[in-house]
Amino acid sequence: MPSAGADKAHQQQCVYCAQTFKSKGELERHVKATHVMPTTSQKCNICDEVFPSAAVLAEHKLTHCKVAYVDQRLSI
């Protein structure tokens, strides 16, 4: 039975963030989704940082918000 160290030796490591993956395919999907800027990249109008999608940009913009989220579903 292989040791845990042997499993780590066969993992694929991202050169951008050092995260590891079990297969080359998982690594490739990660790099494309996380580190490669597609032609439709989105720029934050507050800090000018660029993001790979509108969804990632929307999540980022929450970091600029100083007001805590309040659940609007209040019972009357």
Q: What is the pLDDT of residue 52?
A: 77
How far apart (Å, rounded) are the C-alpha atoms in residues 66 and 39? 31
What are the start-end ranges of the H helices in 1-76? Answer: 4-9, 24-34, 54-61
Q: What is the pLDDT of residues 65-74, one digit of tens each?
A: 865 555 556 5
pLDDT at 16: 82
What integer is the mean pLDDT of 22-43? 83
In the chain, what's the furthest Cα-to-Cα distance?
A: 62
d(CA 47, CA 23) in angstroms, rounded, equals 35
Looking at domain 1-34, its CATH architecture is 2-Layer Sandwich (3.30)
Q: Is the pLDDT of residue 6 over 60?
A: no
Domain residue spans of the chain: 1-34, 37-65
Quick check: 19 and 30 in contact, CB under 8 A? Answer: yes
